Structures are given as C-alpha cells and as structure tokens.
Chain A
C-alpha cells in the first residue's frame, strides 16, 4: 500500500468523473473533475471529507486539511530500519526529521507534500535529492519539519530494503 493510498481511497468515491493523480504542482492530488459538470458540489463533498480543493485552469488541486494531514502523519509508527550503504543518507536524514515533535504548519506543508509525492512514487533517489536541501533550508529558517514525515520515510525504508537512496 502506497503512502497516499488512504487519502486516494477517501477521495476517489467523491469524484464521479475525471482522473485523480499525484499533482505535479503544489497540491498533493490533481483532478480534472471541474471539466465534467457540477464542480462546486464535488468540491463541497471533498471539503466535507477533510480536504481543500483549489480550482485553476479546469483542474482541481487537492490537499488535506491540517487535521486530516496530522492524522496521517501522527499515525506513522516509529521504526528504525538497519543502516545499509544504500540507504545511509536517506536514513540519516529521515531519522533526524523523525526526532521532531513539530506539527505540520503552512510554512512546511509544501515541503511535506512534495516529499510524500516522491515517497508515493517510490522514488527514493528523487526524495533524497529534494529533501536534503529542503531540510537544510528549513533548518536555516528555523522551521521544523513534522516528525511524522521522518517516521513515514523510515517505515518505507524498513519495508523496502535494498532501495538505493
């Protein structure tokens, strides 16, 4: 099960027509449901399920509300996979993030969404290339990334030994 599947499964029944994919922009998911009729009603259903939908150019960019996001991040169990030559850098980065008890904030949510999309795509080299400088920048700005993100990455590493980071 991919990391975004719980939200994907919650959203899919709410969108009667149109695709639902990972967003290549700032959102987490993107859908073209506004092209198929009653977009306000679909948006209202999505919002009542704990998401925000911003429509632009016929596409809806969807992210979870803070409470919904916190529920997924906080549900990530703590685990400590063994360190290998392949996962060394990502392991170290994820372990450091996992130590944080900070909540998701508007300042850090774009970073978290992007990291989750890499994780969902199982693109570990891409995740490390993105997250390493992003985490350094957040640290320089005195922003703390939520520990749940680090725990989700560690859990993924523990389930997918041998993936290169």
Chain B
C-alpha cells in the first residue's frame, strides 16, 4: 500500500428528475488518497453550510465504487454498473430503505495520484423513484495545479 497522499478534491453533484430542474452542489476540499494498482481509497470531510460535517470514504476497485458517509445523514452506497444495491439512508427522524441503480461508473487514478470518479445513478427511497444523481470528483496532489 502506498503512503497516504494529500489531494485537493473538486466534488460536483447534480440531482434531477423528469419533472424538476437539476439542483447542483459544488465543493472544494482536501483529503487523502491511498492505495495502488486497482485498489484505491479517498478520505475527505464535507462541511455543510450549517457547519455540520461528515466524513466520506470512497473506495474504488474492480469496477466497483463504494461510498460511506458518517454523520446524522450517514449512508453506505455501492456502485456497480447495472446492479441495484440496497441499503439504508439514516436521518435524524429515522431510517429510509434506499436503492441505488448506477447507469455509469467510471474511475481513473493516474501515476501522479491525480484522477477522477464519475458516477450516474438512480436513487430510490422506500421503493419510490427519488431522483437521478450525477457525481463528478476530480482530484490532484495538494500543492500542484
């Protein structure tokens, strides 16, 4: 396993369904990238406007991306193209059954520890379609352009 590499992350997310226009989130943060070959892990912290923060762990390997998020809205998601995964979405008011059906899963880590994660997925809550989500993460070693 390579040593942890500090990375600068750009996280962009879009949410849309057939009826509503898309809603977007953009975030710049720092995190750590570790791993080698086709087994990678990124750790970073997301801070919301209300100063609530959650730790996010992304893993990538064998064509599968996983995301674990801590905090009051904690969740675990598995993204494998064409496979629906079930889990739960924690909220302060109770848990919701959640399903994730990815239609696009792509990641790349270059030799210089820069790379990207692109996900497009359909999210359902309690068996009902919630929205389509797109997530684009770009990262590069901290301190480099």
Binding site for B on A (CB under 8 A): 89, 92-93, 96, 99, 129, 132-133, 135-136, 139-140, 142
Contact call B122/A140, Cβ cutoff below 8 A: yes
Pick the interface stretch among B34-42, B46-54, B82-90. Answer: B82-90
When distances are taken between beta carbons in the complex, the residues of chain B under 8 Å from A135 are 84
Residues of B within 8 A of A93 (CB): 84
B101 touching A136, Cβ below 8 Å: yes
B18 at the interface (CB under 8 A from A): yes
Pick the residue among A99, A136, A140, A142 that contacts B84 (CB under 8 A). A136
Q: How far is the CA of A132 from the CA of B122 in the complex (A)?
A: 12
Q: Is the CB of A133 within 8 A of B82?
A: yes
- Complex Cα–Cα for A132 and B83 (A): 7
B contact residues around A129 at 8 Å (CB)? 82
Q: Does B129 lie at the interface of the complex (its beta carbon under 8 Å from any beta carbon of A)?
A: yes
Can you name 10 A-B pairs with beta carbons within 8 Å? A89-B83, A89-B84, A96-B99, A129-B82, A135-B84, A136-B84, A136-B122, A139-B122, A139-B124, A140-B132
Indicate with 1 or 0, residue by residue over B108-145, a CB within 8 angstroms of chain A CB atoms: 00000000000000101001110010000000000000
B101 touches A132 (CB 8 A): yes
The distance from the CB of A145 to the nearest CB of chain B, in whole angstroms, is 12
Question: Majority SS of interface residues in chain A?
Answer: helix
Residues from chain B with Cβ under 8 Å of A142 in the complex? 129
Shortest Cβ gap from B119 to chain A (Å): 15
Q: Which residue of A lies closest to B17 (CB)?
A: A140
Asked if A132 meets B84 with Cβ closer than 8 Å, knowing A139-B122, A140-B122, the reply is yes
Query: Which residue on chain B has the smallest CB distance to residue A99?
Result: B127
Given A133-B103, A139-B129, A140-B17, 8 other A-B residues pairs in contact with their CB atoms under 8 A: A89-B83, A93-B84, A132-B82, A132-B83, A133-B101, A136-B84, A136-B103, A139-B128
Q: Considering the chains assembled together, what is the distance between the CA atoms of A89 and B99 in angstroms?
A: 12
| Residue picked from A92, A99, A140, most chain B C-beta under 10 Å | A140
Chain B residues positioned under 8 Å from A140 (CB to CB): 17-18, 122, 129, 132
Whole-angstrom CA separation of A132 from B100 in the bound complex: 12
The residue on B at minimum CB distance from A142 is B129
**Closest CB of chain B to A28's CB: distance in Å?**
26
Closest 7 CB pairs of A and B: A136-B101, A139-B129, A140-B129, A136-B122, A89-B83, A139-B124, A132-B82
Question: How far is B126's CA from A108's CA once the two chains are assembled, in angstroms?
Answer: 21
Output the least CB separation between B16 and chain A (Å).
Answer: 11
A96 touches B18 (CB 8 A): no
